[in-house]
Structure 1
Amino acid sequence: MHASLRFLLCLCLMFATLTGHTEPVMLDGTAIYQIDVPFKGSSAARRAEDAGQRLQQAAQQGLPAQAVRVVDSALGTDLMLGDTYLSTVFDSDAAAAGLPRTELAQQQAQAVAAALSRYQRAHSEEKLWLGGLYAALTLLAAFVLGHLLNRTYRRLHALIVGASRRSMRRLEHRTHHIVRAAPLLQLLGGLLRLGRLLLFVLLLYLTVELLLSYFATTRPYAGRLLGWMLAPLQQGGLVVAEQIPKLFFLAVLIIVTRYLLRVIRYLFREIERGNLRFEGFYPDWASPTQKIVSFLLIAFALMVAYPYIPGSESAAFKGVSLFLGVLFSLGSTGAISNLVAGVILTYMRAYRQGDLVRIGDSQGVVVSHSLLVTKLFTIRNQEITIPNSVVLQGHVTNLSSGGASRGALVSTAVTIGYDTPWRQVHALLLEAAAQTEEVLKTPAPFVLQTELQDFYIRYELNVYTDQPQRLPFVLSALNASVQDSFNRHGVQIMSPHFFDRARGPVLTPPEHWYEAPARRPEGGAE
């Protein structure tokens, strides 16, 4: 009967041993012995942890290894370090190990004594000095290797990028700048920098691992460092792996969209330069049309890409998207109206960059005309920004006749009596125009007789200038030249008024028609 009970007890212990978890008792990161079975509600893991903590405290107190002893108690055999209790070997432990209890306790005592000896040697002052020396040498070697790695990277970068620059430029020329050399060279340089970064990270990891292994206190963390580094990378890698099909689609979409944008930019640039022509499509429409088409293409690409963005199906992502959409709808009313007005103004060709215009009460040179605003630069060095919706609602006066290619028109007028030959007045005004700086020779200045009043004739001198931003200064200089020209030839600039009937007719006899600086036409025609 007793034999059967012992047999059943052994079977239960064997079953517990096979199905349970063996837990080591640790000292300074090293397993000393194992605890296989629980005892009275304390699991094997808890028993091993408590024994390891007591052993660690005893080792830190500097108790000698020779003080380890085995003492029998009422429950089992106790392991003692001097008067400090470490753990107990119970009958269940001996049955699980298949050894007598006393023999198992002696084995554990020998293992504890050997571990304490190793601990004392590892934490001795000599080991600390030796670890410090090794650490200094390791840091010096890491610094030298890092310096050599940096120099090698610079040489390889100059060699590889320099050798690839010419072939990539030929590729750019063959594809008419659709494939650009600069981004490819940047990609190549980025790959080289990534390789250098990975080597630096590897060097840093090996250095830290060696530094931690030189000291007994930090040696347990040396083997765990790689796991700590790889754990977040592994989690991130799993997340990325799940999204690889979507990310691949997004990458292809981005590449296709980018090259389509380049093709669009190339085509409209050729139209702007005049190398590509379409009937009814003006070159100055190329730049704004390119922006509109590019915007529509990007908007279409975003709509296609939205379902493939990781997390786009989550409620939080949809809520944020809805919130941003409402904000955009509420805040972009004015921007949309300006955008529409900018498109209309662009295709109306009311003015171009460089034209002198008057918009409402503002007059200046158009320095910028975007889809949202028009910017004018005035004579007083002021930059005026006018929303395109305001421009469209008012009226625009373009003072640059024929556009920027012909220049801005400048006019001044004088009134001269009927007793001065009109041919002479014309010649004097044209002479003044020829002597004024910043007045174009082509188109040529011209004079108009705009009014025949009772006592005088009104003459208007019209000239062109390619400096519309200096229009008031050009007009001032032109008026000064007119005065000088008339004074040199003795012609008064005044408007006569008569309060009594003249004794003789006020007219110019034919023999005075060509007073200087007027010239008689060739062939004698008058």
Structure 2
Amino acid sequence: MKPDKDSPLFSLSQKCKTWLILFVTTLLLIVTIPVYAQQQNTNGNPVDGFPVVLDGQEIFRVKQGIPGIATAEERAAIIKKRLVTVANDSTILPEAIQPEKRGNDFLVKAGDKVLFTIIKEDAVVYNKSRETLAQEATKFIRASIVKYREERKAENLVKGAILAVISTAALLIFFRFTQKIVTKLLTEIKVARKADALELRIKNVQVFGSNAMSYLLSGFVRLGRLAVILLSLYVYLPFVLSQFPVTKPLGDSILKDIAIQIDQLVEGFSKYLPNLLTIGIIVLITFYVIEFVKLVISELGRDDAYPWFYTEWIQPTNRLVTFLIVAIALVVASPFLPGFGSPAFQGVSLFLGALFTLGSSSAVANAVAGIILIYTRSFQIGDFVAIGDIKGSVIEKSLFVTRIINPKKEVITMPNAKILGSDVKNFSVVQRESHQGLVLYTTITLGYDLPWRKVHEVLIKAAGNTKYIMAEPRPFVLQTSLNDFHISYEINAFTDHPELMPEIYSDLHQNIQDYCNQAGIEILSPAYTAIRDGNYSTMPADYLPDDYTPPTFGISSQNSH
């Protein structure tokens, strides 16, 4: 059975895992650090010499080997090994390390043990006498051995252990304090998200909703916690390592690396200040240029200013001009960005350019089509339109697509490039701009035996009693064609609710049926031939008299009267 994520058992398990990982990492560092400490500071070359190191500290360098016996590197390693043996032998006092002349050479001895010999070649390389070199080497060795033994005294080891324990306790307290702050911040973010108080707006434009801001802020808080923990460990480990002789070289090296990195960071920042100032000036100028352009566009879009610039153009024009100004500013500021001109910067630029060129042809076509649709004023949000075979109300216009909801409440997403290549019928523009009604029309076919004035009267009456049909202008009828068997009558009526077109057409057709039946008018199919003798009327029974009977067949002969 697994513990629930919100249960204390689950929280305790997660903490145990975290501390276990931290413990294993520290243990690995402790195990590997002595090996690293022994291996470091051994770099050398024939020109600068090979260092003689004791406890991680360089004493001097060996630039010459002994011909036929040892190279300079081997000589340095032998001297180091002897020095470590002497340093660990407490019976040999530092004062026992003395230079001694033997023939033309000088020896450096520790009691009866010979540490190394200064030969003629050493004096030539260092441009000093052999005696001077022996005295200087003796002085350096004594100081190094004194320091080596001082650091390994019991009281200093105890002091280092106490400082390590105190620093570890302080680190744990700091971790605990950091965790409490992080938990409190995450709780406040969660409460603010539930209260919908985290949305980010810039001048009444929502950039991020509460959910998105909650996700971002929570991520930043957790990332900040990780950065603080890593930074504290980066400071803690060198300090603890420097308290013990075995690990002190590594601790000092890490501290030295930190100091070097901070110095490089400060130096790089100081060198970059002129470029940063230039970028700041470019940003400031760009901001004020955008604000000025927005002011000009707003003035152009006033109703009484310029009739050729429409109000609905203000927002898209602002966005388009802002994009162009920002793009120009980026081009101008790019040479002052850090890393500009580097191979990495150029490689990323080429990759992004190729990606944009190869993969965005359709996106660019849709974007251009979207801009053209905006400035051709084909439709606005809320307009009832017909695009090809699709009819519906526009609910969203973006740079790439347009969304339409049809009378069946189906949302249809159309690419702007496809819309630009299609015929667009806008049923709402006349009502919005001219405050005139949209003409709805439908056609019925009736026979020649019906008086056309009566048909006009019935159709106009049916349209006038249809919901959402305007009383003024009055409906009217057009006779569109005189066919072989019938006449086409087109009823035209005005409405100020084009978005209800399907419903209005349905009501109109129902009224046409009712009023034609009431007037005794049969609506016949286009190719219908009526033979009245003996046939029942096609009108519903409700519209026929109660005593209605089908007419009888009439038969006549040529000779009858």
Partner amino acid for 2:250? Y
Aligned 8 A contact 2:385 2:424 in 1: yes
**Structure 1 stretch displaced more, 196-205 or 213-222:** 196-205
Q: Unmatched 5+ residue regions in structure 1?
A: 1-19, 155-168, 181-188, 435-439, 502-526
Q: SS at the partner of 1:87?
A: strand
Looking at structure 2, the residues matched to 25 and 494 of structure 1 have their Cα atoms a distance apart, in angstroms, of 117
In the other structure, the counterpart of 2:169 is 137
Aligned 8 A contact 1:79 1:109 in 2: no
Partner amino acid for 2:248? R
Partner amino acid for 1:95? E
Aligned 8 A contact 2:370 2:400 in 1: yes
With over 3 angstroms needed to count, the CA separation of the structure-2 counterparts of 1:332 and 1:212, relative to structure 1, is closer
In the other structure, the counterpart of 1:211 is 240
Aligned 8 A contact 1:253 1:301 in 2: yes
Counting only pairs closer than 5 Å after superposition, residues 27-426 of structure 1 correspond to structure 2 as 27-29=54-56, 40=66, 50-53=78-81, 55-56=83-84, 65-66=90-91, 76=107, 78-79=109-110, 87-88=115-116, 95-96=131-132, 112=145, 115-116=148-149, 118-119=151-152, 121=154, 130=162, 133-143=165-175, 146=178, 206-265=235-294, 268=297, 274=302, 277-310=305-338, 312=340, 341-370=369-398, 374-379=402-407, 381-388=410-417, 390-400=418-428, 402=430, 410-413=440-443, 417-418=450-451, 420=454, 422-423=456-457, 425-426=459-460
Looking at structure 2, the residues matched to 477 and 100 of structure 1 have their Cα atoms a distance apart, in angstroms, of 115
CA offsets per residue over residues 298-320 of structure 1, 9 Å max, x none? 34324433544455556886687
CA offsets per residue over residues 193-228 of structure 1, 9 Å max, x none? 999999988766654444334444333334443331
CA offsets per residue over residues 58-96 of structure 1, 9 Å max, x none? 87xxx6523778899987454489xxx782365989822
Looking at structure 1, the residues matched to 136 and 307 of structure 2 have their Cα atoms a distance apart, in angstroms, of 106
Q: Give the CA deviation at 1:135.
A: 4.2
Looking at structure 1, the residues matched to 473 and 524 of structure 2 have their Cα atoms a distance apart, in angstroms, of 24
Looking at structure 2, the residues matched to 319 and 111 of structure 1 have their Cα atoms a distance apart, in angstroms, of 52
Aligned 8 A contact 2:379 2:426 in 1: yes
Q: TM-score, normalised by structure 2?
A: 0.56
Looking at structure 1, the residues matched to 364 and 244 of structure 2 have their Cα atoms a distance apart, in angstroms, of 68
Partner amino acid for 1:138? A
Aligned 8 A contact 2:458 2:515 in 1: no
With over 3 angstroms needed to count, the CA separation of the structure-2 counterparts of 1:451 and 1:95, relative to structure 1, is same
In the other structure, the counterpart of 2:479 is 451
Looking at structure 1, the residues matched to 147 and 268 of structure 2 have their Cα atoms a distance apart, in angstroms, of 47
Of all paired residues, the percent bearing the same amino acid is 24
**Structure 1 stretch displaced more, 22-31 or 443-452:** 22-31
Looking at structure 2, the residues matched to 203 and 322 of structure 1 have their Cα atoms a distance apart, in angstroms, of 39
Higher relative contact order (CA 8 A, sep 6+): 1
Q: Give the CA deviation at 1:249.
A: 1.8
Q: Give the CA deviation at 1:426.
A: 2.9
CA offsets per residue over residues 8-60 of structure 1, 9 Å max, x none? xxxxxxxxxxxx999996543467x768996747899986665445555787x
- Of 424, 427, 432, 2:461 maps to 427
Q: SS at the partner of 1:297?
A: helix
With over 3 angstroms needed to count, the CA separation of the structure-2 counterparts of 1:100 and 1:204, relative to structure 1, is closer
Looking at structure 1, the residues matched to 259 and 236 of structure 2 have their Cα atoms a distance apart, in angstroms, of 17
Cα RMSD, aligned residues only: 5.8
Looking at structure 1, the residues matched to 508 and 84 of structure 2 have their Cα atoms a distance apart, in angstroms, of 102
Looking at structure 1, the residues matched to 413 and 147 of structure 2 have their Cα atoms a distance apart, in angstroms, of 88
Q: Give the CA deviation at 1:252.
A: 1.5
With over 3 angstroms needed to count, the CA separation of the structure-2 counterparts of 1:29 and 1:267, relative to structure 1, is same
Q: Unmatched 5+ residue regions in structure 2?
A: 1-46, 124-128, 187-200, 208-216, 533-561
Partner amino acid for 2:332? V
Q: TM-score, normalised by structure 1?
A: 0.59
Q: SS at the partner of 2:91?
A: helix
Q: Give the CA deviation at 1:136.
A: 3.7
Partner amino acid for 1:294? T
Looking at structure 2, the residues matched to 36 and 401 of structure 1 have their Cα atoms a distance apart, in angstroms, of 94
- Of 456, 479, 486, 2:509 maps to 479
Q: SS at the partner of 2:506?
A: helix
Aligned 8 A contact 2:427 2:498 in 1: no
Aligned 8 A contact 1:138 1:207 in 2: no
Aligned 8 A contact 1:455 1:498 in 2: no
Number of equivalences: 433
Aligned 8 A contact 1:445 1:464 in 2: no
CA offsets per residue over residues 136-171 of structure 1, 9 Å max, x none? 4232443366479879999xxxxxxxxxxxxxx9xx
With over 3 angstroms needed to count, the CA separation of the structure-2 counterparts of 1:393 and 1:305, relative to structure 1, is same
Q: SS at the partner of 2:491?
A: strand
In the other structure, the counterpart of 2:7 is none
**Structure 1 stretch displaced more, 445-454 or 296-305:** 445-454
Looking at structure 1, the residues matched to 114 and 508 of structure 2 have their Cα atoms a distance apart, in angstroms, of 111
With over 3 angstroms needed to count, the CA separation of the structure-2 counterparts of 1:140 and 1:400, relative to structure 1, is closer
Looking at structure 1, the residues matched to 389 and 323 of structure 2 have their Cα atoms a distance apart, in angstroms, of 33
With over 3 angstroms needed to count, the CA separation of the structure-2 counterparts of 1:309 and 1:384, relative to structure 1, is same
Q: Give the CA deviation at 1:402.
A: 0.9
Q: Give the CA deviation at 1:281.
A: 1.1
Q: Give the CA deviation at 1:400.
A: 3.1
Q: Give the CA deviation at 1:280.
A: 1.8
With over 3 angstroms needed to count, the CA separation of the structure-2 counterparts of 1:430 and 1:77, relative to structure 1, is same
Partner amino acid for 2:423? H
Q: SS at the partner of 1:66?
A: coil
Partner amino acid for 2:132? A
Q: SS at the partner of 1:65?
A: coil
Q: Give the CA deviation at 1:401.
A: 5.1
Q: SS at the partner of 1:383?
A: strand
Partner amino acid for 1:231? I
Aligned 8 A contact 2:384 2:392 in 1: yes
